[in-house]
Amino acid sequence: MSGPYPADTHSKLIGYLLWIFGFLGAHRFYFGRPVSGTIWFFTLGLLGIGWLIDLFLIPWMERTAEARYTPGPIDYSVAWILLTFLGIFGVHRFYMGKWGTGLVYLLTAGLLLIGVLYDYWTLNSQISEENRARGGG
């Protein structure tokens, strides 16, 4: 651990909880794999086969996410939970300190869900960038 923030960025526990809905790709988006997350979403986890295989791949996905993203004051798991359950209200954006776009999401149902979809693709990078800017890692 270096600095005041834990070195962990992603949680296996959260990954497994999202895996329950993994046939929709939730755990893959969480671990920074938006392309395969999108494929899982449209194919129901490769017709369930990929979803079952992911049960064993989650520890590897967690390790690779840890290596790719910057730890810091914004917790990845908290932001992902907020996006998953309150994304249309922009609560995850308020949490990251993005008050302007948080307000826009709140007033437009996450920019009619297009903004929420964008955040599923980019949330890890957004958090990593904010954590670097705030002196994390």
pTM of the model: 0.86
Nearest Cα residue to 78 out of 123, 112, 122, 136: 123
For the chain, domain boundaries = 12-133
Q: Is the pLDDT of residue 35 over 90?
A: yes
- Per-residue pLDDT, 6: 63
Classify residue 35 as exposed, middle or buried by CB count within 10 Å of its CB (0-12, 13-18, 19+).
exposed
- Number of C-beta neighbours around residue 135 at 10 A: 11
SS3 of 70, please?
coil
Q: What is the pLDDT of residues 75-128, one digit of tens each?
A: 999 999 999 899 999 999 999 999 999 999 999 999 999 999 999 999 999 999
| Per-residue pLDDT at 23 | 72
Tell me the C-alpha to C-alpha distance, in Å, between residue 114 and each of 52, 61, 65. 29, 26, 25
If you average pLDDT over residues 125-132, what whole number do you get? 96
